[in-house]
Amino acid sequence: MKIRVATRGSKLSLAQTNIALNEIKKVAEDVEFEIVIVRTKGDIHQDKPFTAIGGKGLFEKEVNLAVLEGRADIAVHSLKDVPSQVTPGLVLGMTPPRDSPFDVLVSRNGAKTIWDLPSGAVIGTSSARRTAMLKHARRDLVFKPLRGNVDTRLEKLRKGLYDAIIVAEAALQRLSINIEYWRIPPEILPPAPSQGIIGVYTVSKRLDLLDVLEKATHRETMIVARAERAFLSKAGGGCHVPLGGYAWIEGNKLKLYAAVASLDGSKRVDVVLEGSPEHPESLGVLAALELRDKAEKAGIEIRSM
């Protein structure tokens, strides 16, 4: 069996693709892969903010198009980059085991936590979620845009353009980058929904592929992915909204923690719910509804940001 795999060409994208393909090989030893590199608008315009070139779905649409047009059989994504409403005709067929969902602080001068940074320290991030949540914790920090791949971001930090930067721990893990960092607790910075999860998509009619992908799927990761994507879909907002949330399984319970903040970080509300792993979407929807209700009472408008 030969599977053509659409993916971006960055080091991180290829590392994520290899993780997914290795899981598929465990259940289909005779499979062969052909990598189809797709260069997206987000890869070409790395000097511009996400919001200026498309926002959510920036890295997803063109990769998925290769599958829809028949140039590839599956598409591999960092699931947090995929909008809650995926391209029609495609389905999430597989998730490998989740890596860390959390964000980390990487400091130029050895700060061990966000509280060790001096007043006025410059933090590099282009994420509305990261900026607003950290502003809520420390109003005296300065936030400046930061784009590029992980190596580029770390190089900008080393050159002194920032005092610290925020990156996903999963990215450092997947690239085997061994540096000192502080994992930011979700009570300070809740992860983006589906952060740390790799998603493999194919067309809904490919029952042969879906059977293989289902066998290769890590069940617990798929459960939390379904909960978090349902939460994101119901909560609304997109990449412009400082919204975070993640789910995990504890014993026989599925739990979900989420938060949203105002853009300036002055207001924030949090929710924690639990439900059944058998009904992850239900928990995601309930968490979104409760968070939106609390946000409205606090004067935080999710959809219009």
In a domain, 248, yes or no: yes
Per-residue pLDDT, 53: 41
Phi-psi region of 89 (alpha: psi -120 to 50; beta: other; left: phi over 0): left
The question of whether 140 is a catalytic residue gets the answer: no
In a domain, 155, yes or no: yes
In the predicted model, what is the mean pLDDT of residues 185-195?
A: 97
Percent of the chain having pLDDT more than 90? 85
Same domain, residue pair 170 and 115? yes
Per-residue pLDDT, 301: 85
Query: In the predicted model, is pLDDT for residue 54 greater than 50?
Result: no
Model confidence pLDDT, tens digit, residues 103-149:
999 999 889 999 999 999 999 999 999 999 999 999 999 999 998 99
Q: SS3 of 271, please?
A: strand
In the predicted model, what is the mean pLDDT of residues 56-64?
A: 75
Position 45 confidence tier, pLDDT thresholds 50, 70, 90 = very low
Mean pLDDT of the chain: 92
Reported as half-sphere exposure (CB side, CA atoms, 13 A), residue 37 has a value of 8
The pTM score is: 0.92
Q: Are 203 and 90 in contact (CB under 8 A)?
A: yes
Q: Look up residue 31 and give its amino acid.
A: V
Position 239 confidence tier, pLDDT thresholds 50, 70, 90 = low
Q: Which of 30, 73, 81, 270 is catalytic?
A: 81
Same domain, residue pair 209 and 76? yes
Provide the number of structural domains found in the chain: 3
Position 304 confidence tier, pLDDT thresholds 50, 70, 90 = very low
Same domain, residue pair 6 and 17? yes
Q: Are 201 and 86 in contact (CB under 8 A)?
A: yes
CATH number, position 8: 3.40.190.10
In a domain, 225, yes or no: yes
Domain that holds residue 19: 1-95+197-217
Same domain, residue pair 162 and 226? no
Per-residue pLDDT, 237: 64
